[in-house]
Copies of this chain bind each other. A is one copy, B any other.
Amino acid sequence: MANEKKIPYKIYLEENEMPKAWYNVRADMKNKPAPMLNPGTHQPMTAEELGGVFCAELVQQELDNDTAFFEIPQEIRDFYKMYRPSPLVRAYCLEEKLQTPAKIYYKFEGNNTSGSHKLNSAIAQAYYAKNQGLKGVTTETGAGQWGTALSMACSYLGLDCKVYMVKVSYEQKPFRREVMRTYGASVVPSPSDTTQIGRKILAEHPGTTGSLGCAISEAVEVATSTPGYRYVLGSVLNQVLLHQSVIGLEVKAAMDKYGIKPDMIIGCAGGGSNLGGLIAPFMGEKLRGEADYDIVAVEPASCPSLTRGVYAYDFCDTGMVCPLAKMYTLGCDFIPAPNHAGGLRYHGMSPVLSQLYDDGLMRAVSVPQTSVFEAAEEFARVEGILPAPESSHAIRVALDEAKRCRETGEEKTILFGLTGTGYFDLVAYQKYHDGLMDDYIPTDEELALYRAKLPKID
């Protein structure tokens, strides 16, 4: 390893260099993401309709396709200072190990107790709820990062927090549950008998272990039927991508400081919150014709919404109580195979990213899960961070590209998003070590079945 490096192993911005406004990539998109539709009338959702579900300020952010920058309120900026800036890491150790001429950077969002980037939007959403004088918020969580993040934010602001946790995760991840409990949240396994939709799903599918779409339905029902409560969501929505732009803005500021320009930007994609945030300012430059970047979404082969889904209006939830969103989707009943351990299990994709993908402004690849865990372990051993399975999708593609550069001699600059840590995913790691993990990939026939059930919108 060379002893003198111009660029440090980790770039931390100074506090005064941290973003003061979120960037709304929609402002620079020629083709705006399609509006959400009322599931009954199929007309665009109005601010008033959305206001029954979301806080007023967040509704404005959700609907605003024109304002490029939203000032980050001082209270949120102060909270960000508690756990941000996150480091932009130059992966010298990995480069050395791979003997690649590629320059690898990753933005590491896992240095907070939620274990991921989710806290960036959780605090924003909780802040606006508090500001509106609400008593509490409801949400769903799958693996638990989002639920943990929201619990932390609510605990900090003194808001009540009700989390509907996908039952299989609730049972298999008692520790995530316990962290949320430490932060004073109430956690309910979903589907539950606490909601109408939960009771209906339980009656129809008695043995079900739940799904994100189903937990969303329950959380929305409780929010809309309890005075003083609203619903908050950790991904997919425009507002979430807006808040998560803090990731990309920090990266951009750090890179500009050192004169670094990435050739390739890689992020894992489930609902799109991390990828959307990471790429935001770079995509903005691309949209404005100021620069070009190869932007890659990486999704699990077992839940391939971008690579094998269709771009159509679909429900955001299984219970079909939420608005319809136009997005790349596998169908709102789609649930990845039970052996899928890598997260990123949402049936759809952020409407913003869906539009950008449809416009050819980014590409997508899907990767099988054993290769994801292989990459995770390779990374952990040289970079000292045990990555979340979700993040490891991006690692897989970054490693492959860096190895390709070793063959071609290209000095490509690769940036990827390391969204979080895998400390609560060790059951999955164990499966991988014990050879109990396989790579089930849905067949075309299966996908066609779900696709046939998509709502028909003129």
Contact = CB atoms under 8 A, between A and B. Distances in A.
- Chain B CB within 10 A, most for which of A111, A155, A384, A386: A384
If over half of A's interface residues share one DSSP class (helix, strand or loop), that class is named, otherwise mixed; here it is helix
A385 B155 CA distance: 13
B93 A82 contact: yes
Interface stretch (A129-137, A176-184, A360-368): A176-184
A377 to B, nearest CB: 6
Interface stretch (A26-34, A63-71, A273-281, A423-431): A423-431
B181 A433 contact: yes
Contacts of A12: 10, 12
A14 interface: yes
A384 B83 contact: yes
Interface in A387-440: 421, 423-424, 426, 429-430, 433
Contacts of A430: 174, 178, 181
Interface in A180-195: 181-184
A442 to B, nearest CB: 29
Interface stretch (A1-9, A239-247, A285-293, A348-356): A1-9
A3 B14 CA distance: 15
B182 A384 contact: no
Contact of A380 (B182, B377, B421, B423): B182
Interface stretch (A38-46, A73-81, A222-230): A73-81
A27 to B, nearest CB: 27
Contacts of A113: 380, 384-386, 421
- Chain B CB within 10 A, most for which of A10, A178, A184: A178
A112 interface: yes
B9 A182 contact: no
A17 to B, nearest CB: 11
A43 to B, nearest CB: 42
B112 A433 contact: no
Contacts of A3: 74, 78
Contacts of A219: none
A57 interface: no
A258 interface: no
Contacts of A74: 3
Nearest to A1: B78
A380 B181 contact: no
B384 A152 contact: yes
A384 B110 CA distance: 12
Interface in A297-337: none
B429 A382 contact: no
A49 interface: no
Contacts of A175: 423, 426
Interface of A: 1, 3, 8-10, 12, 14-15, 74-75, 78, 81-83, 92-93, 111-113, 115, 119, 152, 155-156, 174-175, 178-179, 181-184, 377, 380-386, 421, 423-424, 426, 429-430, 433
29 contacts: A1-B75, A1-B78, A3-B74, A3-B78, A8-B14, A8-B15, A9-B81, A10-B12, A10-B81, A82-B92, A82-B93, A82-B383, A83-B384, A93-B156, A113-B380, A113-B385, A113-B386, A113-B421, A115-B423, A155-B381, A156-B381, A156-B382, A174-B426, A179-B426, A181-B430, A181-B433, A182-B377, A182-B380, A423-B424
- 4 tightest Cβ-Cβ pairs between the two chains A and B: A175-B426, A9-B81, A423-B423, A178-B426
